[in-house]
Amino acid sequence: MVEEKKLDFCIGLSSNAVLKAEIAEIKAEITEKYVEKKLKHQHFTDAFPYQAQSWNCAQNTYAKVESTGKGINVRFFISNLQGMEAKEIYFEF
């Protein structure tokens, strides 16, 4: 619907096995470099294509992998915004 109306969007996604597999390597790196040392850090992935079964087409999908200093927190989101980095989309949109 948002595409039909040509609306800009940024929508959070629930995690699933496909998305978790997509970021498994970076999550392991963040865990080793920051979580185990109790350091805070945020990492945003580049866009990767993801299409849920109920969607008409794949969307640009991003992940924010965060070491909170006490553990790890992963959030996924999709967006059609062009010319912006994942961090900009996440915090500014």
Within a domain: 56: yes
Average pLDDT over residues 6-12: 92
Report CA dihedral (83, 85, 87, 92) to the nearest 10 degrees.
-10
Under DSSP, the state recorded for 35 is I
Within a domain: 6: no
Within a domain: 5: no
Report the domain count for the chain: 1
pTM of the model: 0.91
Q: What integer pLDDT is reported at residue 28 of this predicted model?
A: 97
Please give the share of the chain, as a percent, with pLDDT higher than 70.
97
- Supply the range of the domain harboring residue 24: 11-92
Within a domain: 83: yes
Within a domain: 63: yes
Within a domain: 68: yes
Q: What integer pLDDT is reported at residue 2 of this predicted model?
A: 64
In Å, how far are 20, 38, 63 from 54, measured between CA atoms?
19, 39, 20
- Confidence tier at 72 by pLDDT (50, 70, 90): very high
Residue pair 35/71 in contact by the 8 Å Cβ criterion: yes
Q: What integer pLDDT is reported at residue 1 of this predicted model?
A: 57
Within a domain: 27: yes
